[in-house]
Structure 1
Amino acid sequence: MATAAFGLMMLLIGHSVVLTSATKYVVGNRTGGWTFGASCNWPSNPGKHFKANDTLVFKYSAGHHNVVRVTKAGYRNCTAAEGARVYSSGNDQIKLVKGKNYFICTYPNHCTFGVRLSVTAI
Protein backbone atom coordinates (compact mmCIF):
# COMPACT_ATOMS: atom_id res chain seq x y z
CA MET A 1 0.00 0.00 0.00
CA ALA A 2 2.83 2.39 0.86
CA THR A 3 4.45 1.71 -2.51
CA ALA A 4 1.22 2.50 -4.35
CA ALA A 5 0.75 5.71 -2.35
CA PHE A 6 4.34 6.74 -3.08
CA GLY A 7 3.85 6.01 -6.78
CA LEU A 8 0.65 8.05 -6.89
CA MET A 9 2.35 10.94 -5.07
CA MET A 10 5.26 10.91 -7.56
CA LEU A 11 2.82 10.84 -10.48
CA LEU A 12 0.95 13.87 -9.11
CA ILE A 13 4.19 15.76 -8.49
CA GLY A 14 5.32 14.95 -12.01
CA HIS A 15 2.15 16.40 -13.46
CA SER A 16 2.34 19.56 -11.38
CA VAL A 17 5.86 20.42 -12.50
CA VAL A 18 5.84 22.32 -15.75
CA LEU A 19 8.98 21.80 -17.75
CA THR A 20 9.78 24.73 -19.96
CA SER A 21 12.89 25.37 -21.88
CA ALA A 22 14.04 28.79 -22.88
CA THR A 23 14.74 29.46 -26.54
CA LYS A 24 17.57 31.54 -28.00
CA TYR A 25 16.74 33.81 -30.91
CA VAL A 26 19.39 35.56 -33.01
CA VAL A 27 18.08 39.06 -33.72
CA GLY A 28 17.79 40.25 -37.31
CA ASN A 29 18.69 38.53 -40.52
CA ARG A 30 21.50 36.02 -40.94
CA THR A 31 23.86 38.33 -42.82
CA GLY A 32 23.49 41.55 -40.90
CA GLY A 33 22.19 40.66 -37.46
CA TRP A 34 21.58 43.72 -35.26
CA THR A 35 21.85 46.49 -37.84
CA PHE A 36 19.86 49.14 -39.71
CA GLY A 37 16.34 47.94 -40.43
CA ALA A 38 17.18 44.27 -39.82
CA SER A 39 14.89 44.00 -36.83
CA CYS A 40 11.86 45.92 -38.15
CA ASN A 41 9.73 42.89 -39.07
CA TRP A 42 11.96 40.26 -37.52
CA PRO A 43 9.87 39.67 -34.34
CA SER A 44 6.75 38.89 -36.40
CA ASN A 45 8.46 36.37 -38.72
CA PRO A 46 6.88 32.90 -38.53
CA GLY A 47 8.10 30.55 -35.83
CA LYS A 48 8.74 33.15 -33.16
CA HIS A 49 6.73 32.85 -29.97
CA PHE A 50 8.64 34.75 -27.31
CA LYS A 51 8.37 33.76 -23.67
CA ALA A 52 9.82 35.22 -20.49
CA ASN A 53 13.36 33.86 -19.97
CA ASP A 54 13.95 33.32 -23.69
CA THR A 55 17.24 34.87 -24.78
CA LEU A 56 17.80 37.34 -27.58
CA VAL A 57 21.26 37.17 -29.13
CA PHE A 58 22.38 40.46 -30.65
CA LYS A 59 25.16 39.85 -33.20
CA TYR A 60 26.97 42.81 -34.75
CA SER A 61 30.46 44.17 -35.31
CA ALA A 62 31.72 45.42 -31.96
CA GLY A 63 32.47 49.12 -32.18
CA HIS A 64 29.73 49.68 -34.78
CA HIS A 65 26.64 49.22 -32.60
CA ASN A 66 25.60 48.48 -29.03
CA VAL A 67 22.44 47.30 -27.26
CA VAL A 68 20.61 48.95 -24.38
CA ARG A 69 17.38 47.77 -22.76
CA VAL A 70 15.09 50.80 -22.46
CA THR A 71 11.57 51.76 -21.44
CA LYS A 72 8.72 52.35 -23.89
CA ALA A 73 9.48 56.09 -23.78
CA GLY A 74 13.17 55.40 -24.37
CA TYR A 75 12.27 53.25 -27.35
CA ARG A 76 9.94 55.88 -28.75
CA ASN A 77 12.41 58.74 -28.20
CA CYS A 78 15.61 56.76 -28.89
CA THR A 79 17.06 57.58 -25.48
CA ALA A 80 18.50 55.46 -22.71
CA ALA A 81 18.25 56.27 -19.03
CA GLU A 82 21.36 57.55 -17.34
CA GLY A 83 23.27 54.58 -15.98
CA ALA A 84 21.52 52.04 -18.22
CA ARG A 85 23.57 48.93 -18.95
CA VAL A 86 25.22 49.14 -22.36
CA TYR A 87 26.06 45.86 -24.08
CA SER A 88 28.85 46.19 -26.62
CA SER A 89 30.49 42.79 -27.21
CA GLY A 90 28.96 42.14 -30.62
CA ASN A 91 27.51 38.88 -29.28
CA ASP A 92 25.23 40.06 -26.49
CA GLN A 93 22.73 37.71 -24.89
CA ILE A 94 19.82 39.28 -23.03
CA LYS A 95 16.94 37.43 -21.33
CA LEU A 96 13.41 38.59 -21.99
CA VAL A 97 11.09 39.53 -19.18
CA LYS A 98 7.33 38.97 -19.30
CA GLY A 99 5.58 41.74 -21.22
CA LYS A 100 7.11 44.34 -23.51
CA ASN A 101 10.90 44.40 -23.98
CA TYR A 102 12.52 47.36 -25.71
CA PHE A 103 16.07 47.64 -27.05
CA ILE A 104 17.95 50.36 -28.89
CA CYS A 105 21.41 51.15 -30.19
CA THR A 106 22.66 54.38 -28.64
CA TYR A 107 25.22 55.27 -31.31
CA PRO A 108 24.23 58.66 -32.79
CA ASN A 109 21.21 58.33 -35.12
CA HIS A 110 21.31 54.52 -35.18
CA CYS A 111 18.03 54.09 -33.29
CA THR A 112 16.38 56.78 -35.40
CA PHE A 113 17.37 54.85 -38.52
CA GLY A 114 16.00 51.55 -37.30
CA VAL A 115 18.48 49.88 -34.94
CA ARG A 116 15.83 49.24 -32.31
CA LEU A 117 13.57 46.38 -31.37
CA SER A 118 10.35 45.79 -29.48
CA VAL A 119 9.42 42.25 -28.43
CA THR A 120 6.52 41.00 -26.33
CA ALA A 121 7.13 37.91 -24.20
CA ILE A 122 4.33 35.91 -22.61
Structure 2
Amino acid sequence: MALFVKTVALLVLMAKFQVSLGVMYKVGDSAGWTTIGNVNYKQWAATKTFQVGDIIQFEYNSQFHNVMRVTHAMYRSCNASVPLETFNTGNDSYTVKTKGHHFFLCGVPGHCQAGQKVDINVPRNLSSTAPTPSALASPTVPAATTPAPTTSTAAAPLEAFKSGFVMFGVLIAVFVVSVSGVA
Protein backbone atom coordinates (compact mmCIF):
# COMPACT_ATOMS: atom_id res chain seq x y z
CA MET A 1 0.00 0.00 0.00
CA ALA A 2 2.87 2.40 0.80
CA LEU A 3 4.29 1.82 -2.68
CA PHE A 4 0.92 2.71 -4.18
CA VAL A 5 0.80 5.98 -2.21
CA LYS A 6 4.35 6.81 -3.33
CA THR A 7 3.42 6.08 -6.94
CA VAL A 8 0.40 8.35 -6.76
CA ALA A 9 2.51 11.08 -5.13
CA LEU A 10 5.09 10.71 -7.91
CA LEU A 11 2.39 11.03 -10.56
CA VAL A 12 0.99 14.15 -8.92
CA LEU A 13 4.46 15.71 -8.81
CA MET A 14 5.09 14.78 -12.44
CA ALA A 15 1.78 16.28 -13.50
CA LYS A 16 2.59 19.48 -11.62
CA PHE A 17 6.06 19.62 -13.20
CA GLN A 18 4.62 19.08 -16.68
CA VAL A 19 2.20 21.97 -16.25
CA SER A 20 5.01 24.30 -15.22
CA LEU A 21 7.00 23.67 -18.40
CA GLY A 22 6.57 26.51 -20.84
CA VAL A 23 7.18 27.07 -24.49
CA MET A 24 10.15 29.20 -25.51
CA TYR A 25 9.30 31.94 -27.98
CA LYS A 26 12.06 33.87 -29.71
CA VAL A 27 10.71 37.37 -30.26
CA GLY A 28 10.65 38.09 -33.99
CA ASP A 29 11.50 34.45 -34.80
CA SER A 30 14.58 34.31 -37.06
CA ALA A 31 14.83 38.14 -37.35
CA GLY A 32 15.12 38.53 -33.57
CA TRP A 33 14.76 41.86 -31.73
CA THR A 34 15.73 44.50 -34.28
CA THR A 35 14.68 47.52 -36.31
CA ILE A 36 16.07 45.98 -39.51
CA GLY A 37 13.69 44.24 -41.87
CA ASN A 38 10.45 45.87 -40.72
CA VAL A 39 9.54 43.13 -38.25
CA ASN A 40 5.92 43.55 -37.14
CA TYR A 41 6.06 42.54 -33.48
CA LYS A 42 2.33 43.16 -33.00
CA GLN A 43 1.57 40.65 -35.75
CA TRP A 44 4.21 38.24 -34.42
CA ALA A 45 2.66 38.25 -30.94
CA ALA A 46 -0.89 37.93 -32.31
CA THR A 47 -0.01 34.56 -33.86
CA LYS A 48 1.10 33.05 -30.54
CA THR A 49 -0.82 31.58 -27.63
CA PHE A 50 1.16 32.67 -24.60
CA GLN A 51 0.72 30.97 -21.23
CA VAL A 52 2.12 31.34 -17.73
CA GLY A 53 5.48 29.54 -17.67
CA ASP A 54 6.41 30.44 -21.24
CA ILE A 55 9.85 31.90 -21.85
CA ILE A 56 10.13 34.99 -24.02
CA GLN A 57 13.61 35.14 -25.57
CA PHE A 58 15.05 38.40 -26.86
CA GLU A 59 18.08 38.00 -29.14
CA TYR A 60 19.68 41.18 -30.45
CA ASN A 61 22.90 43.11 -30.95
CA SER A 62 23.52 44.70 -27.54
CA GLN A 63 25.57 47.50 -29.13
CA PHE A 64 22.43 48.81 -30.84
CA HIS A 65 19.44 47.62 -28.79
CA ASN A 66 18.15 46.76 -25.34
CA VAL A 67 14.90 45.43 -23.87
CA MET A 68 12.81 47.26 -21.32
CA ARG A 69 9.74 45.89 -19.57
CA VAL A 70 7.37 48.81 -19.14
CA THR A 71 3.83 49.75 -18.12
CA HIS A 72 0.99 49.96 -20.62
CA ALA A 73 1.11 53.77 -20.63
CA MET A 74 4.88 53.72 -21.25
CA TYR A 75 4.40 51.17 -24.03
CA ARG A 76 1.75 53.29 -25.76
CA SER A 77 3.85 56.48 -25.59
CA CYS A 78 7.24 54.79 -26.15
CA ASN A 79 8.43 56.23 -22.85
CA ALA A 80 11.55 54.42 -21.64
CA SER A 81 12.43 56.83 -18.82
CA VAL A 82 11.52 54.59 -15.84
CA PRO A 83 11.29 50.95 -16.97
CA LEU A 84 10.15 48.16 -14.66
CA GLU A 85 13.15 46.10 -15.80
CA THR A 86 16.00 46.60 -18.25
CA PHE A 87 17.84 43.87 -20.14
CA ASN A 88 20.96 44.53 -22.20
CA THR A 89 22.99 41.34 -22.73
CA GLY A 90 21.76 40.63 -26.26
CA ASN A 91 20.41 37.24 -25.21
CA ASP A 92 17.78 37.89 -22.54
CA SER A 93 14.85 35.80 -21.43
CA TYR A 94 11.73 36.68 -19.51
CA THR A 95 9.64 33.95 -17.90
CA VAL A 96 5.94 34.77 -17.90
CA LYS A 97 4.70 34.44 -14.31
CA THR A 98 1.27 36.07 -14.51
CA LYS A 99 -1.67 36.33 -16.87
CA GLY A 100 -2.39 39.61 -18.60
CA HIS A 101 -0.24 41.91 -20.70
CA HIS A 102 3.55 42.13 -20.50
CA PHE A 103 4.89 45.13 -22.39
CA PHE A 104 8.42 45.42 -23.79
CA LEU A 105 10.19 48.01 -25.91
CA CYS A 106 13.65 49.00 -27.06
CA GLY A 107 14.82 52.04 -25.11
CA VAL A 108 17.20 53.31 -27.79
CA PRO A 109 15.79 56.65 -29.05
CA GLY A 110 13.58 56.19 -32.10
CA HIS A 111 13.47 52.37 -32.00
CA CYS A 112 10.15 52.03 -30.18
CA GLN A 113 8.60 54.65 -32.47
CA ALA A 114 9.87 52.56 -35.41
CA GLY A 115 7.92 49.56 -34.08
CA GLN A 116 10.45 47.81 -31.83
CA LYS A 117 7.97 47.01 -29.09
CA VAL A 118 5.90 43.96 -28.23
CA ASP A 119 2.87 43.17 -26.09
CA ILE A 120 2.97 39.62 -24.73
CA ASN A 121 -0.63 38.86 -23.77
CA VAL A 122 -1.44 35.84 -21.61
CA PRO A 123 -5.22 35.43 -21.80
CA ARG A 124 -7.00 35.37 -18.45
CA ASN A 125 -9.63 32.96 -19.78
CA LEU A 126 -8.23 29.42 -19.42
CA SER A 127 -10.73 27.96 -21.87
CA SER A 128 -9.51 30.22 -24.65
CA THR A 129 -7.45 28.24 -27.12
CA ALA A 130 -6.91 30.99 -29.66
CA PRO A 131 -4.62 33.92 -28.92
CA THR A 132 -6.19 37.31 -28.56
CA PRO A 133 -4.63 40.01 -30.70
CA SER A 134 -2.79 42.74 -28.84
CA ALA A 135 -5.08 45.01 -26.89
CA LEU A 136 -3.62 47.83 -28.94
CA ALA A 137 -4.42 46.32 -32.34
CA SER A 138 -6.34 48.55 -34.69
CA PRO A 139 -9.96 47.44 -35.10
CA THR A 140 -9.48 47.53 -38.88
CA VAL A 141 -6.74 44.88 -38.72
CA PRO A 142 -8.18 41.37 -39.22
CA ALA A 143 -7.36 38.81 -36.54
CA ALA A 144 -4.34 36.69 -37.37
CA THR A 145 -4.59 32.95 -37.80
CA THR A 146 -3.20 30.74 -35.07
CA PRO A 147 -0.37 28.57 -36.41
CA ALA A 148 1.57 26.38 -34.05
CA PRO A 149 4.87 27.85 -32.90
CA THR A 150 7.52 27.39 -35.55
CA THR A 151 10.50 25.15 -35.05
CA SER A 152 12.70 28.23 -34.94
CA THR A 153 11.11 29.10 -31.58
CA ALA A 154 12.12 25.72 -30.17
CA ALA A 155 8.48 25.11 -29.32
CA ALA A 156 8.08 21.87 -31.26
CA PRO A 157 10.93 20.08 -29.46
CA LEU A 158 9.69 21.32 -26.10
CA GLU A 159 6.14 20.20 -26.82
CA ALA A 160 7.47 16.79 -27.88
CA PHE A 161 9.51 16.65 -24.67
CA LYS A 162 6.45 17.48 -22.57
CA SER A 163 4.35 14.81 -24.29
CA GLY A 164 7.15 12.27 -24.00
CA PHE A 165 7.68 13.16 -20.35
CA VAL A 166 4.00 12.58 -19.54
CA MET A 167 3.98 9.29 -21.45
CA PHE A 168 7.17 8.19 -19.69
CA GLY A 169 5.54 8.97 -16.33
CA VAL A 170 2.47 6.94 -17.17
CA LEU A 171 4.64 4.00 -18.26
CA ILE A 172 6.67 4.19 -15.04
CA ALA A 173 3.49 4.27 -12.96
CA VAL A 174 2.03 1.26 -14.79
CA PHE A 175 5.29 -0.61 -14.33
CA VAL A 176 5.52 0.18 -10.61
CA VAL A 177 1.90 -0.81 -10.01
CA SER A 178 2.29 -4.06 -11.97
CA VAL A 179 5.54 -4.98 -10.21
CA SER A 180 4.15 -4.20 -6.74
CA GLY A 181 1.12 -6.41 -7.33
CA VAL A 182 -1.35 -3.61 -6.48
CA ALA A 183 -4.52 -4.16 -8.46
* TM bracket (short chain): 0.7 to 0.9
Contact 2:27–2:59 (8 Å) recurs in 1? yes
**Structure 2 Cα separation of the partners of residues 116 and 49 of structure 1:** 18
Contact 1:103–1:118 (8 Å) recurs in 2? yes
Instruction: Indicate yes or no: 2:66 matched with 1:69.
Output: no
Task: Give 1:70 shift.
Answer: 0.5
Q: 1:32-89 deviations in whole A, cap 9, x for unaligned?
A: 21123422311123xx321112111111111111100011101101113526432111
The 1:82/1:54 distance shift into structure 2, 3 A limit, reads same
* Structure having the larger proportion of residues in strand: 1
RMSD: 2.3
Gaps of 5+ in 2: 124-183
- The equivalent of 1:33 in structure 2 is 32
* Equivalent AA in structure 1 for residue 63 of structure 2: G
- The equivalent of 1:104 in structure 2 is 105
* Structure having the larger proportion of residues in helix: 2
Identify which of 25, 30, 43 aligns with 2:45.
Answer: 43
- The equivalent of 1:86 in structure 2 is 86
Instruction: Indicate yes or no: 2:116 matched with 1:119.
Output: no
Gaps of 5+ in 1: none
- The equivalent of 1:14 in structure 2 is 11
Aligned length: 116
Contact 2:70–2:83 (8 Å) recurs in 1? no
Pair member with larger Rg: 2
Identity level (%)? 30
